[in-house]
Chains A and B, each alone.
Chain A
Amino acid sequence: MRFMTIYKPGVDQETAGPPSEKRMAEMGAFINEMAAAGVLLATDGLQASSKGARVKLVDGDFVVTDGPFAETKELIAGYAIVNVASKDEAIHWTKRFLALMGEGESEIRLMHDFAAFDGEEARQVGAAANR
């Protein structure tokens, strides 16, 4: 099953400046580890909202608002798509990610994916039967 994890830092990252070299190195090693474990399908960080825009369709009219956006703590700063066997596995990796990033929040969402049909249930039934 595949999950998208959507990361929102707890601080205003738009004004926080680039991460330290140490953190970059740690994050690089962590990403390599996830890739080596066959778990990581895609990941990227997002640039400041000043370089983006919001597009809305309201009452039949498009409204385009250029960044930066006001609610800085709600902003998405990055995402990852992981291939795992359970939500708990996704949580486990996400905890390790946040431990490196510091204060913040990641939302974990199940994607519409062929592996989501019965994987979770199968694992739980299997685990209960075997242990």
Chain B
Amino acid sequence: MSTADAHRAIDAVWRIESAKLIAGLARMVRDVGLAEDLAQDALVAALERWPRTGVPDNPGAWLMSTAKRRAVDLLRRRTLHERKQDQVAIEMEAALDAAVPDLDAGLDDPVGDDLLRLVFISCHPVLSREARVALTLRLLGGLTTGEIARAFLVPEPTIAQRIVRAKRTLTAARVPFEVPRGEEMQARLSSVLEVVYLVFNEGYSATAGDDWMRPALCGEALRLGRVLAGLVPGEPEVHGLVALMEIQASRARARVGPGGEPVLLLEQDRARWDQLLIRRGLAALARAEELGGALGPYAMQAAIAACHARARTPGETDWARIAALYDALAEIAPSPVVELNRAVALSMAFGPAAGLELVDDLVADGSLDGYHLLPSVRGDLLAKLGRPDEARAEFERAATLTRNGRERDLLLSRAARCARELPPHPATEPAKS
């Protein structure tokens, strides 16, 4: 095996095993930062050894036993000045051995519980949102700081700093390595779901740069969501989030044109929608619904996405149902962005004038100032109402607000189209639509 081959194979092993490894170590040493350092040490040992010896049959177990040995050495050194050092080390060793009987024993149990603890600690509210995202990708996704930095288009030292600080914060706050119970559980779970969805969205609709998508992030968020659904199968919102992501991802191929330009939902070639992901998404939504109770915000958004997924042509879309779902979503999770989407649904169900009314309320309200989709939607409605001059101004405004180069091109081309529709002399009466 060449060194390059070995390194690629080790990368693959790391990606598969690192979260379980860190989770298991964190339970033993009660410190996520230390657990990750130990896991990294084991990785370095593998990088030294495996190119010569080949990858062992059970690489996960090899990494774990190597890391455990290092943990014991470290704890010995730390207690060197204490009289009972040997006793401590012996007890520690016994505890470590008892703690991980068999890493490959399956996921229904300690390993699964450890992973869940790791998820909750990575998304702990004591950390900033950015720190939660970086730490989750690092500890649960097995991504390197370089990969995370690239995905988020920030310098690598920034991400490295963010992760170091996050680990320090967790240690300083003495955050226990446990799964929250009772009332705390729901609040902590929504923080976890938020992080996963942030990662997905970062990949799905890149907020900056020329890449319309950063596909690796979408894939990772989907994977994390599915893992989570297996770890807490009784939580409807987890299935709701998975459903939402699967259905949105099903359109990934169709939402980018041959030149890399974005293609809007209703203009997409539905033959390019991924039926496997749609089926998985609808199944996850059904699980969320079967668990009973009122749908949460993610399940409700998934239900909206499902309306589109079920329509074979744009004309078949059940806009009245989508509008009703947005009404319900606005009740449980009110936000200006939900209102904006509700306006779009209303316009599709009951005509552009109905949507424009709501959009104008949002403009007056001012809370979406600077959000490019507000003028973009308003421009669309105005164009449909036969007011191309106003529409063009809105598209141009939207183009100055978006940070995505591809989207800017799309908006400018819509503005240009409006300009072509303008009559030679300014119209004094709005045209009929």
Residues on A facing B (Cβ under 8 Å): 1, 29, 32-33, 35-39, 41-42, 81, 83-86, 88-89, 91-93, 112-119, 122-123, 125-131
Q: Is B410 an interface residue (CB 8 A)?
A: no
**Inside 8 A of A89's CB, which chain B residues have their CB?**
12, 15-16
Residues on B facing A (Cβ under 8 Å): 7-9, 11-13, 15-16, 47, 106-107, 112, 143-147, 149-151, 156, 211, 213, 215-216, 218-220, 222-227, 230-231, 249, 252-253, 256, 276-277, 280
Chain A residue with minimal CB distance to B229?
A38
Task: Determine which of B7, B9, B213 lies in contact with A117 in the assembled complex, contact meaning CB atoms within 8 Å.
Answer: B213
**Inside 8 A of B13's CB, which chain A residues have their CB?**
92
The reply to whether B216 and A130 contact each other, CB–CB distance below 8 Å, is no
**Inside 8 A of B11's CB, which chain A residues have their CB?**
86, 88, 123, 127
**Inside 8 A of B8's CB, which chain A residues have their CB?**
86, 88
Q: A86-B11, A130-B145 are in contact. Are A114 and B224 (CB under 8 A)?
A: no
Chain A residue with minimal CB distance to B249?
A114
The reply to whether A37 and B227 contact each other, CB–CB distance below 8 Å, is yes
Chain A residue with minimal CB distance to B10?
A88
Chain A residue with minimal CB distance to B253?
A114
The reply to whether A130 and B225 contact each other, CB–CB distance below 8 Å, is no
The reply to whether A38 and B276 contact each other, CB–CB distance below 8 Å, is no
CA distance A126 to B145 in the complex (A): 8
CA distance A62 to B154 in the complex (A): 57
Q: How far, in Å, is B277 (CB) from chain A's closest CB? A: 8
Task: Determine which of A1, A37, A91, A122 lies in contact with B147 in the assembled complex, contact meaning CB atoms within 8 Å.
Answer: A122
The reply to whether B252 and A38 contact each other, CB–CB distance below 8 Å, is no
The reply to whether B216 and A115 contact each other, CB–CB distance below 8 Å, is yes
CA distance A7 to B234 in the complex (A): 34
CA distance A3 to B280 in the complex (A): 17
**Inside 8 A of A86's CB, which chain B residues have their CB?**
8, 11-12, 15
**Inside 8 A of B151's CB, which chain A residues have their CB?**
122
Between-chain CB contacts (< 8 Å), 27 pairs = A1-B219, A36-B112, A37-B223, A37-B227, A38-B223, A38-B225, A42-B276, A81-B276, A83-B219, A83-B222, A85-B219, A86-B8, A86-B12, A92-B9, A92-B16, A114-B252, A114-B253, A115-B215, A118-B211, A122-B151, A126-B144, A126-B149, A127-B11, A127-B144, A127-B146, A128-B146, A129-B146
Q: A119-B215, A131-B47 are in contact. Are A36 and B146 (CB under 8 A)?
A: no
Sample of 12 further A-B pairs with CB below 8 A, known A36-B230, A114-B218? A85-B216, A86-B11, A92-B9, A114-B256, A115-B216, A126-B143, A127-B11, A128-B146, A129-B146, A130-B156, A131-B47, A131-B144
The reply to whether B12 and A92 contact each other, CB–CB distance below 8 Å, is yes
Give 8 closest A-B pairs by Cβ, nearest first: A126-B147, A38-B223, A114-B252, A130-B144, A38-B226, A88-B12, A130-B146, A126-B146
The reply to whether A39 and B223 contact each other, CB–CB distance below 8 Å, is yes
**Inside 8 A of A32's CB, which chain B residues have their CB?**
106-107
Q: A88-B11, A130-B146 are in contact. Are A33 and B107 (CB under 8 A)?
A: yes
Q: How far, in Å, is A115 (CB) from chain B's closest CB? A: 4
